[in-house]
Structure 1
């Protein structure tokens, strides 16, 4: 039961974060994560959560502290965090906060391939993204207004505020990109120009 060989996954971090509050069984963890919208930033599936709990238990980061049974329901195992788990969790939080991670979101990949579409297709899909972003931002705002009305301390939903800010920035960028494409400020590459650039690069490689 040593330290994990690989950094803890986002789901593992979310589980350990919950267990800072009190011991819980996996079903309760799932319900609280969904209520708090943790599934907006962590892939949350019941099967993967149970598997992650078992792995954390095997690593000595959490341990069984109780079992519960209600009526005819199956027995539920309650887990608590170990001291080793607290140490590993704290060390990873330090690293994650201080060091920007290399992350690989889909949108930059799509933007790099945008020139392979027609200008009309590109603008149409970007406008669809704007609609989807506005819908997500509106849903965000409902949640933010609710937690504000409930006087929930901002530190408890700072991750949600960060995601909301990211979506606003992405919306601004996407709207500006659409304007630049429609106005011609960002010219669309033609096929011949694209191939000329490739030939030029190949020539430089041979003579460099």
Structure 2
């Protein structure tokens, strides 16, 4: 559920004010179902829950030109922004692939230095995991699954990949790629000059 919370809060924060269909449209356009577990039904369920928890607030769109009832629009609350930032920071240190993907999708909403710090923490945790996993005993005919060479090998390979991906992303950040929250005005000044 935390990756869904993260992406829904992130879309609402990015848009400022939006309705549920706007969140759905963004996530569909981004093909979010390929890198998260977000499904159309989970978006609306998450929005209901976020509203109940006071993380987003609903209001009438005030669209008088449209026939029928007006749409409910949502805005993030200060508590919602705090929750979003907490989830985002947790996602950038996570080894859970869908949560990490959601974190990368919204990483530019943090300062570059903070993202670098979080990814360095993730890299260290991933390296520690690789070192630990390599110490696990295996058996050619395993007595229990924890000693299955293919299972242990899969996890070693996964965590080695996590190390490589994180190193690559950190290098991209050090090379000045992407635009972050603390760089927005400077970036806009350069592009508008």
Q: Which has the higher contact order (CA 8 A, sep 6+)?
A: 2
TM-score, with normalisation over the residues of structure 1?
Answer: 0.42
Larger Rg: 1
